[in-house]
Amino acid sequence: MAVPLGGRGAPHRPVLLRETIELLAAERGGLFVDCTVGLGGHSEAILQASSDTQVLALDRDDEALELARKRLALYGLRFRAEHADFRELTRVLAKAKIKQARGILADLGVSSWQLDSPSRGFSFRHEAPLDMRMDRSSGETAAALLGRLSEVEIARIIFVYGEERHSRRIARAIVRRRERGEPVTNTSQLASLVERTTGPGKQRRIHPATRTFQALRIAVNRELENLDRFVTDAVDHLEPDGRLVVISFHSLEDRIVKRTLGKLSGRCQCPPRVPRCTCGARKAVEVLTRRPITPSEEEIAVNPRARSSKLRACRKL
Ligand SMILES: C[S@@+](CC[C@H](N)C(=O)[O-])C[C@H]1O[C@@H](n2cnc3c(N)ncnc32)[C@H](O)[C@@H]1O
């Protein structure tokens, strides 16, 4: 199910679509919450799985939400969308007077539509102010972050979230520019700074600035913050036999999802030899994916962005 992007970039293809719909068991009908609706690819497939399904969709990106609303208008009252951060799930459901959902989906990270939006500053492929906020109504831009943080803090972000081995050199170059009164404020300045700092390297599979851009995006949008809390809240809002599916694109995200689902399936996550469990493990779910589901070679061939995706799912007991 590819959706054209109005002439911009590659068509948008929902990642691991068939697997998601199967694990959500959307053919049973009922209320589903799509916490990251994006352009609505997964939501549309949920709506098509049964004439009895309804979707409450969230996204923190107003522009994406508007496109999803237009695209899914034909489903009438079966689809409604709300501008919200999924970490506010409990508040959103209370406001909508929803106690329990049959299925909850979170397809984390940015969409290819956002990456390809020339003015958003997510990509080194487009000259734009270094913004990178998914929600442009609040928070600090990437440029502001680079203008405020210390060299050590910038290096840490690039190393931890980007797994970039040249993180210290890149952070030093960013701070030197700032000290000369030439702060990094747009995408091409950052991309060429990283390219100059890291050198030509051996035949690279990816652009040298890829990891730095990814790291900054994760920091700007605080993507890992309270992800464990969200997974726990989502499970608490499922009806018995309800399903939660989480698709992640970063090893740190996947680790948090794995640990949290482990804990919610009753497996203690405390360090070995602690006298008493303090991690809060309880048996609330059955994990449906012993190992994460990853995309097939065929899917990666038509949608290279799917490459790093990992899907984990559980069933509420
Ligand atoms: C990978 S895309 C989802 C694509 C979608 N499944 C589809 O088929 O079109 C991720 C979406 O999640 C949104 N998002 C990321 N973090 C969010 C958060 N904490 N709360 C709400 N939306 C978020 C992004 O703005 C983006 O539109």
Euclidean distance between CA atoms 58 and 91, whole angstroms: 12
pLDDT at 92: 98
Determine the distance separating the centroid of ligand 1 and the alpha carbon of 36, expressed in angstroms: 4
pLDDT at 205: 76
Q: Which of 60, 120, 299 to mutate to test the pocket of ligand 1 (most atoms within 8 A of CB)?
A: 60
Q: Which of 3, 105, 134 to mutate to test the pocket of ligand 1 (most atoms within 8 A of CB)?
A: 134
Determine the distance separating the centroid of ligand 1 and the alpha carbon of 110, expressed in angstroms: 6
Determine the distance separating the centroid of ligand 1 and the alpha carbon of 105, expressed in angstroms: 10
pLDDT at 231: 98
Euclidean distance between CA atoms 260 and 283, whole angstroms: 12
Euclidean distance between CA atoms 15 and 49, whole angstroms: 17
pLDDT at 273: 86
pLDDT at 6: 40
Determine the distance separating the centroid of ligand 1 and the alpha carbon of 263, expressed in angstroms: 25
**How many CA atoms within 13 Å lie on the side-chain side of 223?**
28
How far, in Å, are 100, 111, 138, 220, 303 from residue 118 at the CA level? Answer: 39, 13, 20, 18, 20
Residue type present at position 247: I
Q: Within its chain, how far is the Cα of 92 from the centroid?
A: 19
pLDDT at 9: 46
pLDDT at 144: 98
Determine the distance separating the centroid of ligand 1 and the alpha carbon of 35, expressed in angstroms: 7
b/e for 12-22, b at 16 or more Cβ within 10 A?
A: bbbbbbebbbb
Q: Contacts by 285-291 with C-beta closer than 8 Å and gap 24+?
A: 285/235, 285/244, 285/261, 285/314, 285/315, 285/316, 285/317, 286/314, 286/315, 286/317, 287/261, 287/262, 287/312, 287/313, 287/314, 288/23, 288/243, 288/313, 288/314, 288/315, 289/23, 289/313, 289/314
**How many CA atoms within 13 Å lie on the side-chain side of 188?**
5
- Closest Cα to atom 4, ligand 1: which residue? 38
Determine the distance separating the centroid of ligand 1 and the alpha carbon of 19, expressed in angstroms: 18
Q: Which of 1, 32, 36 to mutate to test the pocket of ligand 1 (most atoms within 8 A of CB)?
A: 36
Chunked into runs of 10 residues, the chain (317 residues) has average pLDDT values of 48 90 98 98 98 98 97 98 98 97 98 92 95 96 98 98 97 98 97 91 79 98 98 98 98 97 95 88 97 98 95 98
pLDDT at 206: 84
Determine the distance separating the centroid of ligand 1 and the alpha carbon of 275, expressed in angstroms: 40
In ligand 1, the atom with minimum distance to the C-alpha of 105 is 6
Q: How far apart are the first and last CA of the chain?
A: 32
Euclidean distance between CA atoms 14 and 11, whole angstroms: 10
Residue 297 backbone phi and psi in degrees, to 5:
-55, -40
pLDDT at 203: 61
pLDDT at 137: 94
Q: Which residues line ligand 1 (CB under 6 A)?
A: 12, 14, 36, 38-42, 58-61, 64, 85-87, 107, 109-111, 134
Tokens of 264: 């919610």
